[in-house]
């Protein structure tokens, strides 16, 4: 059942994003920012943990999960460092995922020999 919930929740998120892309004039970058901010707000309200327990990877893999990760990092840093943690927490929490994306993207570019669009 866990796989089924992850599949349909992740699919529903993707469908909603596709509808936003097709039916509005929003650019993909703005939609990605909207997803990250939505994940952070849901995390701030305390609704993300029950949502993630129900949906599993369907909730944690999309950009909503990245917003949740940033918010958790900010909460922890604010508890440890006070108001200065507001600035450092998101960077610390998101550093591993961002670094992995950059490194694997670079390695893929070495293997696949990307070309410029014409």
* Per-position pLDDT tens, the chain of length 118: 889 999 999 999 999 999 999 999 899 899 999 999 999 999 999 999 999 999 998 888 888 989 999 999 999 999 999 998 888 898 888 898 889 989 998 999 889 877 777 7
Residue 41, pLDDT score = 95
Containing 52, the helix (H) or strand (E) segment is: helix 48-55
pTM to 2 decimal places: 0.78
Residue 97, pLDDT score = 84
Q: Which two tokens stand for residue 15?
A: 């469908």
Task: Determine the Cα–Cα distance for residues 71 and 77; give it in Å rounded to an integer.
Answer: 10
Q: Give the Å distances, CA to CA, from 5 to 43, 58, 66, 73.
A: 20, 7, 19, 26
């Amino acid at each position: 059942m866990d796989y089924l919930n992850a599949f349909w929740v992740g699919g529903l998120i993707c469908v909603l994003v596709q509808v936003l892309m097709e039916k509005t004039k929003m650019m993909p970058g703005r939609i990605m920012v909207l997803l990250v901010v939505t994940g952070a707000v849901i995390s701030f309200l305390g609704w993300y943990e029950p949502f993630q327990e129900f949906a599993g990877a369907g909730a944690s893999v999309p950009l909503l999960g990245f917003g949740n990760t940033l918010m958790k990092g900010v909460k922890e840093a604010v508890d440890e460092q006070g108001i200065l943690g507001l600035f450092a927490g998101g960077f610390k929490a998101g550093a591993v995922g961002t670094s992995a994306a950059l490194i694997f993207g670079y390695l893929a570019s070495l293997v696949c020999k990307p070309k410029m669009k014409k």
